[in-house]
Amino acid sequence: MTSPFQTPSAMQAVEISAPGGPEVLREIYTAVPEPSVQDVLIAVYAAGVNRPDCMQRAGRYPLPEGASPLPGLEVAGEIVFAGSAVSRWKIGDHVVALTHGGGYAGFCAVNAEHCLPWPENLDAAQAAALPETCFTVHHNLVARGGLKRDETVLIHGGSSGIGTTAIQIAKAIGARTIVTAGTRVKCDYCIRMGADYAINYRDEDWEGRVREILPAGVDVVLDMVGGDYVMKNINVLASDGRYVMIAFMRGAKAEVDFWRVLPKRLTLCGSTLRPQSSAQKASIARAVERDIWPLVRIGSVRPHIHQTFPLAQASAAHSVMEASTHMGKLVLNVGNRGMSIDEP
């Protein structure tokens, strides 16, 4: 297809100039990516900021094959070009997308099957905050963790973008939620987002508190902490419980007494999105559109934006992310509005 919008040869972007702290993020002008036959080219309105971006910047997240070296795993914007093998989308469509990198830029080439329609009830920042969290939470909490109505899930990092999405999705399923967070303010925020219980892990023994709340144990643990939390999570799981690991903020190694796993018939699993194949991501996208998008449209699942930043201030966004002072999502305002049609 030929776009009525004349795509420039160069675009504004943010690159990782060298492994290091937030200061190594540098605004540049670089070539607009060339989409393949199965890709769409998106003029980016907004891009979500996620911890894997920070890990990549620090040199602790090896790039999968074929990934853009530019950071940015989720975007919202307008399609300005569609490859010859693309059938669902057309030029002018507004979409959100899970990217294979490259979101911190004016234009991003994305596999067309990793795009979803931009929900009309959300603005650009809210739309850009959806893909990474919704894909991650649905795949891990619902598909792999098997959370069901009347079950209970323990969510660590409850005030994060992943945490707040998990709270809302669990509530929509009809499950109970216990979350951990690092301050009383964050705990109160989690309760407002729909959590049934919120535990300040700095002031309380969260393992003991979970045992008080639910002596029989929780059905699912969604863990992004790892380290010394691993054995505690195993201890608080109920019989036939499921332990789903998605990150290791306190380390990927732990000493585990596996005797606690066998008699309770526990399931331990985990995943991360970016290394998965295009086909696997497309399958997750279809499941998210089927199960989560109706909840987004009626407002049962809605991203909370802590702060937005201009693209040129990506380093400031990373500083906030790594300070862990935010509640909800951080988003970069990239621009590109008003090119051919108005934002939804």
CA distance 48 to 103: 8
Please write down the long-range contacts of 117-120, taking CB distance under 8 Å and 24 or more positions apart. Answer: 117/93, 117/289, 117/293, 118/76, 118/94, 118/344, 119/293, 119/296, 119/297, 119/344, 120/297, 120/344
Q: What is the pLDDT of residue 8?
A: 81
Give residue 67's pLDDT band: very low, low, confident or very high (50, 70, 90). Answer: very high
Give residue 339's pLDDT band: very low, low, confident or very high (50, 70, 90). Answer: very low
Res 4 pLDDT > 70: no
Q: What is the pLDDT of residue 5?
A: 55
Res 81 pLDDT > 80: yes
Q: What is the pLDDT of residue 249?
A: 87
**Helices assigned H by DSSP within the chain:** 51-57, 124-128, 131-137, 161-173, 184-193, 206-213, 229-236, 278-291, 293-298, 314-323
CA distance 186 to 191: 9
- Enumerate the β-bridge partners of residue 94: 78
Q: What angle do CA 304, 75, 85 make, to 5 degrees?
A: 140
Stretch among 41-45, 53-57, 248-252 having the lowest mean pLDDT = 248-252
Measured distance between the N- and C-terminal CA atoms of the chain, rounded to whole angstroms? 23
What would the pLDDT profile of 247-295 be if each residue is shown by its tens digit? 998 888 999 999 999 999 999 999 998 889 999 999 999 999 999 999 9
Mean pLDDT of all residues in the chain? 94
Contacts of 216 (CB under 8 A, 6+ apart): 238
Domains within the chain, CATH numbers bracketed: 10-130+303-333 (3.90.180.10), 136-270 (3.40.50.720)
| pTM of this prediction exceeds 0.85 | yes
Q: What is the pLDDT of residue 152?
A: 98
Q: What is the pLDDT of residue 342?
A: 39
The alpha carbon of 196 is separated from its chain's Cα centroid by a whole number of angstroms, namely 22
Res 337 pLDDT > 70: no
Q: What is the pLDDT of residue 62?
A: 85
